[in-house]
Structure 1
């Protein structure tokens, strides 16, 4: 099997070739490099104090960002090579690659477009081992590569209606042999027809979606739905709507679970009392029971709030987290129960997210909390995942700032009757040395409380970094 990161880089090269076919426009290329020195008192994340291994780690990061816009193609991509050298045990030395690229090409003016993307990064196989951004300490990691191509056609029917027909192909590939069976290939067809500007009081829409995901070990899941929507605009700021249709789904499920082929409906309202506030809420019913949705956004003078709640049916590929949208989502997510089986699964996701961020004078800050409940259709055990992330920054001087972050992740998995709590707290100082150079010093503490035997650990680390762009 070829290394997924090399495939992702080839995908990035393909994006460049596609974009080069368009009329030449200005390219923005920014190379960058940084060197860091880290000291940690528990690189192996041992539970017992006598088993802890301290370590000094030298780190080199080098990469670039590349973008272009205008003409027929918009493109952005970035690459980073991370080299880690361990002073005490050179057997841990490693090189990590991270790549991400996206492009949109307008093939026919205002009608036919092609989206393309490719990415690669290392992720923890079991998300309960630690935080995803920690590449210094020991952990079972795997490379994850994703590729996506999505041509679509847009058509305007005067003032009467607008339509879009889109086909998407995407695939996910894992480097680690223990999760290879969860690699997947997905095909999706989406079509929509929505009312145009001539409909001012009553609006309408029709949407069709077909989505099939096939996993390497042979499992398939299919989601298909047809929905019609009718909206009544009572005032310029307030409208009510009702939608309904039929879904036909096919996936593995435990005996006694509800038939996934059924009609569905939802009814709700949209309210935008000011340009700073919007609210959309609905109640409905799907094959798994009552369902609800909520999106609330409000912007104050120095801060903004966002609250979202959704209930979806999701197919998993088990390695990295994703934001869930409506319908059958087949993008990869993080599922630590892969330690026990590689069988792809489908679950009902109920997720609440609350976030707030702001800035005033010399202080900027953000808080984000989320709770997700996963109800598996195969009955192999439900999961609860909670998280909280806070960050703050204070400008001490024109070229010097202080930062702090706090992270918490709590998981409760029935499949192995295990609960885990992960905490990370960091404080740092950063200073701009010149137009393209900066330096930082950071202290980080992380801790895990776990039901896993010898699963608790604590770690302290200090990192000094010098960065430059060219």
Structure 2
């Protein structure tokens, strides 16, 4: 069944989705209350120009809870924090952080349920001050609430096919800036050829989008994929289909036939390369997905092109290859699974100080053609780890800019017609002792409006020292230096420092 917990601080409703089998609570369900105490200082809390910069001290108390289960019928990971932040020169405020995901097997081999929910502070625009610390406040940030629920039927029909019938409900909201809901139904059939010769996949999907600022949009597509394995390491595939979307495009009519041709090469369990070339209504398209793994090193490279929306990017599932690699690699280095997860999350968060890609999923009600490339790698030794992440994201608007006047202002409607964001992020972790870690992060990003010529650059340097004081108490100290420059003005610098005590009960 689905349990919904409703929390209403200051009139906001938060849905925390926990999917639990009806039969019984899993025996390995681990519920851990947490408490974080932090004091920090910033010489430019509101990320203002030098003549308007004001220094402030903050005090933070953040109770929370972590819930983890990895039973055969339930995989659940939930982390919730309620932050109470007190400032020396401005009113106190309350914020929330939530990251929850779960997968449940309700009826064995038939009925399953996936659910995700999140609350986080996000930058509204890729241009202007960029929020990187939860205590900061700018006019370019907002709280985003996201929810996704997906029950589905999945069954293997011997000698015929594996069938998956799925329903998806998604919602993303951020006060009066965003309120988008979608309902989708899909059917996927994968043929059963006994592992010999040609095989097939048939996909049908229909999605209804309801954006509070736009007329409803319906998107539907159908495709058939034929694949052929030449041997155990090389296979090819061809896809053909038809898609139709009824949003009001400013360029090509968003419908028509599509097709692609590609292949998958897996010369060893540690190396994989998949690529495809095709055509859709907006032109030629291609994709790439490659990974290479050694005992102490892991690399991934990807490229894709697709029509996307702001709310769809908020609900997209980020790649897990780097975190999964480190979790396995650090099994002997950090035996405690929960401490290992926390260390990996902190390391990747610091190395990606400007966001998961260094690029901003800016708020918009428009549809975009997005072209995105990523290169990520981790190299680890028994005591150190080095992470590198490069990303490039280009977006070309497919719908009118008028609908975004509330977000960008009427004088900047063409700012996001065509954008390009590039970023590089670097993180280094050193295990100073059995209980201590030092993590250094550096990131640089550039956001360009190709339609107006505006260019903004952001640079961040961070240093964090953590120490496990006991099995349930850890301490940390952090330093940061941030710079922002823009061809439109509004340059600023910010330096910050903080100390924190983290407790579990």
Query: Hey, what does 1:350 align to over in structure 2?
Result: 371
- The 5 A counterparts of 1:75-154 are 75-87=76-88, 89-91=89-91, 93-140=92-139, 141-154=141-154
SS of the residue corresponding to residue 452 of structure 1 reads coil
Using structure 2 for the length normalisation, give the TM-score.
0.82
Distance 1:6 1:106, change over 3 A: farther
Partner SS for 2:71:
coil
1:43 matched to 2:45: yes
Q: 2:246 aligns with which of 246, 250, 258?
A: 250
In the alignment, is residue 462 of structure 1 matched against residue 497 of structure 2?
yes
State the match for 1:405 in structure 2.
Answer: 441
**Structure 2 residue runs without a partner (length 5+):** 1-6, 320-358, 402-416
8 Å Cα contact 1:201-1:232 kept in structure 2:
yes
| More displaced stretch, 306-315 vs 78-87 | 78-87
**Where do 1:329-348 residues align within 5 Å?**
336=362, 344-348=365-369
Q: What's the counterpart of residue 228 of structure 2?
A: 232
Q: Is the Cα–Cα contact under 8 Å of residues 460 and 481 in structure 2 kept in the other structure? A: yes
Indicate yes or no: 2:365 matched with 1:365: no
After TM superposition, list the pairs within 5 Å mapping 1:165-314 onto structure 2. Answer: 165-175=165-175, 177=176, 179=177, 182-254=178-250, 257-314=251-308
C-alpha separation between the residues in 1 aligned to 2:212 and 2:10? 18
* 1:47-58 aligned within 5 A: 47-48=49-50, 50-58=51-59
TM-score scaled by length of structure 1: 0.88
**SS at the partner of 1:183?**
strand
How far 1:262 moved relative to its partner? 1.0
Alignment partners' CA distance in 2, 1:438 and 1:114: 35
The C-alpha deviation readout for 1:314-369, integer Å capped at 9, x for no partner, is: 133499584689xxxxxxx9554x5xxx6x21111110000001211211121111
State whether residues 430 and 439 of structure 1, in contact with CA within 8 Å, keep that contact through their aligned partners in structure 2. yes
- What is the DSSP-based 3-state SS (H/G/I as helix, E as strand, rest coil) of the residue aligned with 1:396? coil
Structure 1, unpaired ranges of 5+: 326-332
Return closer, same or farther for 1:392/1:236 CA change in 2, 3 Å cut-off: same
Kept in 1, the 8 Å contact 2:21–2:104? The answer is no
Partner of residue 160, structure 2: 160
Aligned to 2:431, the other structure's residue is in SS state: strand
Q: Tell me the CA shift for residue 419 of structure 1.
A: 1.2
Measure the CA separation in 2 of the matches of 1:426 and 1:415: 33
CA contact (8 A) 1:34 1:468 kept: yes
Q: Which residue of the partner structure matches residue 441 of structure 1?
A: 477
Alpha-carbon contact 1:39-1:461 (below 8 Å) kept: yes
CA contact (8 A) 1:393 1:402 kept: yes
1:395 and 2:431 are equivalent in the alignment = yes
1:55 & 1:283 partners in 2: Cα distance? 53
Q: 1:132 to 1:303 in 2, by over 3 A?
A: farther
Q: How far did 1:7 drift? A: 6.2
State how many pairs are aligned.
443
Q: What CA distance in whole angstroms lies between the structure 2 residues aligned with 1:318 and 1:270?
A: 27
Q: After alignment, is 23-32 or 352-361 more displaced?
A: 23-32
Distance 1:304 1:184 in 2: 37
Contact 2:146 2:314 in 1 (8 A): no
The question of whether the paired residues in 2 share the 8 Å contact of 1:302 and 1:359 is answered with yes
Equivalent in the alignment of 1:19: 20
Structure 1 100/443 Cα, relative in aligned 2: closer, same or farther at 3 Å? Answer: closer
Per-residue deviation, 1:386: 1.5
**Change in CA separation of 1:3 and 1:30 when aligned onto 2, cut-off 3 Å:** closer
When residues 160 and 312 of structure 1 are mapped into structure 2, their CA distance, relative to the original with a 3 A threshold, is same
Q: How does 1:376-387 map to 2 (within 5 A)?
A: 376-378=397-399, 380=401, 381-387=417-423
CA RMSD of aligned residues (A): 2.4
Distance of 1:242 and 1:364 partners within structure 2: 40
User: What displacement does 1:432 show?
Assistant: 1.9
Aligned to 2:459: 423
| Contact 2:391-2:422 at 8 Å conserved across structures | yes
Moved more, 38-47 or 64-73: 64-73
Cα pair distance change 1:237/1:132, threshold 3 Å: farther
Cα pair distance change 1:68/1:362, threshold 3 Å = closer
